[in-house]
Amino acid sequence: MTAAKRYPAAHLMNLVLAPVISEKSTRVADKNRQYVFRVHDDATKPEIKAAVELLFKTKVDSVTVSNVKGKARRFARFAGRRRNWKKAYVRLAAGHEINFAATE
């Protein structure tokens, strides 16, 4: 049984929020076949793997997850914080890639 069949497709469609496009993520993609995504806070590694395989029709080797702490910011007179969020590093199998410009 593949990972995508274990979870409902509607649930998997909402896990991956957006790709993270930065200098570091571009360097990681070129060097290690890894892509960086912003994912839902409750997402687990198997769910992220199934979601990426379903959305981009690729084969995922591994997933590494990182929790990013929100920065302390001032809003006029009030001190506040930005939200915490979760980042996933997805390593693709050899020969697979994701082209963000061509995906719909």
Q: Is 96 left (phi over 0), alpha (psi -120 to 50) or beta?
A: beta
Separation of alpha carbons 73 and 93, rounded Å: 40
Domain housing 52: 3-71+82-92
What pTM value is reported for the model?
A: 0.86
Separation of alpha carbons 94 and 98, rounded Å: 12
The number of folded domains in the chain is 1
**Residues 43-100: tens digit of each pLDDT:** 999 999 999 999 999 999 999 999 999 999 998 899 999 999 999 999 999 999 888 7
Separation of alpha carbons 45 and 62, rounded Å: 8
- Kindly state whether residue 104 falls inside one of the protein's structural domains: no
- Kindly state whether residue 7 falls inside one of the protein's structural domains: yes
- Kindly state whether residue 53 falls inside one of the protein's structural domains: yes
The sign of the torsion formed by the CA atoms of 39, 21, 13, 52 equals: negative
Give the CATH number for residue 18. 3.30.70.330
